[in-house]
Amino acid sequence: MIAQPLYCDCILPTGGGTGKELAKTARTAFKALIQSNGATLLCRTLHSVLQWEHARNIVVAGPPETLHEAAQCGRCLLAECSGTGPQNMLHGLDLLEKQPGGAAPLLLMLATDLPAVCPEALSLLLAGFPSSADFLLPLVPRRVFEQRYPCTKSTWLHLQEGEFTLACAYLIRTSMLRELRPRLEPLFAARKSQWKTARLAGPGIALRLLAGQLSVEHAAHRLQNILQCTPAALLHAPPELALDIDTVEDYQWMLQNAEKLPRGGCR
């Protein structure tokens, strides 16, 4: 494992839209601006990252509406941009590289629609990053997720080791991000569907996944070939990093279970 303490730069993309139904219910066009426990999800995320002892520079990347909110929340850099998630990550990296000392060797990519995110979860993620890896793929076991957040839904990967969902936080070596962009774009576009992701990996992976015979080791090996870098999987990522708000049902669950979620904000 990487020796502690280690400092990361953080990029928080905020351009994710709510979709028509959720926008009407939550009264915002951006998931980052959904209100939770008296603060927006973006503000709550920034609050957690600002409290995290391993955070160095923090970039919020997105449209003017979300950047205006971020500016009210304290110490962060603002990168106005639109486009895909990988494009926004690179806009954030451009800004980090202009800071004194340049960008940190390690980057945290963190979604901004996570109502349960907390500094402790980020520290557990960092502690699981092997020194030999280029990026970390965090997986949350279904049993752990549903025990912590019963009656919620997620997309489950059926692997030999069990059922998992992907967390919405990633660690990646800064030197790899630009090189990986062309290969990350199709994976990012398919991230919400395990079948689309499996098809990108090839028919062998798709058949193994369908039969429940795909192992984490085999998937990581195939991912290494596709991305031409060294991935690592974290099989017990914190469930707080997988609870995101994508649907009206997610939003309603969040409101009904506010007492189970961390309180606080940047204001």
Show the domains of the chain with their CATH numbers. 8-256 (3.90.550.10)
- How many Å apart are CA 233 and CA 130, to the nearest integer? 9
Q: What is the rounded average pLDDT for all residues in the chain? A: 84
Pairing of strands 106-110, 8-13: parallel
Q: Around Cβ 135, how many Cβ atoms within 10 Å?
A: 22
* pLDDT at residue 5 greater than cutoff 50: no
173: DSSP letter: E
pLDDT at 206: 54
In sequence order, the β-bridge partners of residue 138 are: 234
Characterise 108 by phi-psi region: left (phi > 0), alpha (psi -120 to 50), beta (else): beta
Residue 91: C-alpha distances to residues 29, 53, 109, 162, 218 (Å): 22, 24, 13, 36, 33
Instruction: Find out whether 88 and 63 touch, Cβ atoms under 8 Å.
Output: no
pLDDT at 266: 42
Q: Is the model's pTM score more than 0.75? A: yes
- How many Å apart are CA 249 and CA 188, to the nearest integer? 24
Which residues contact residue 124 at a Cβ distance below 8 angstroms, ignoring those fewer than 6 apart? 237, 238
Q: Which band of pLDDT confidence, cut at 50, 70 and 90, is reported for residue 28?
A: very high
**Mind listing the pLDDT tens digit for each residue in 174-217?**
988 877 766 666 566 555 555 555 555 555 555 555 556 677 77
Q: Of the candidates 10, 9, 28, which has an alpha carbon nearest to the alpha carbon of residue 19?
A: 28
In sequence order, the β-bridge partners of residue 140 are: 165
Tell me the one-letter amino acid at 174: T
pLDDT at 201: 52
- How many Å apart are CA 45 and CA 117, to the nearest integer? 6
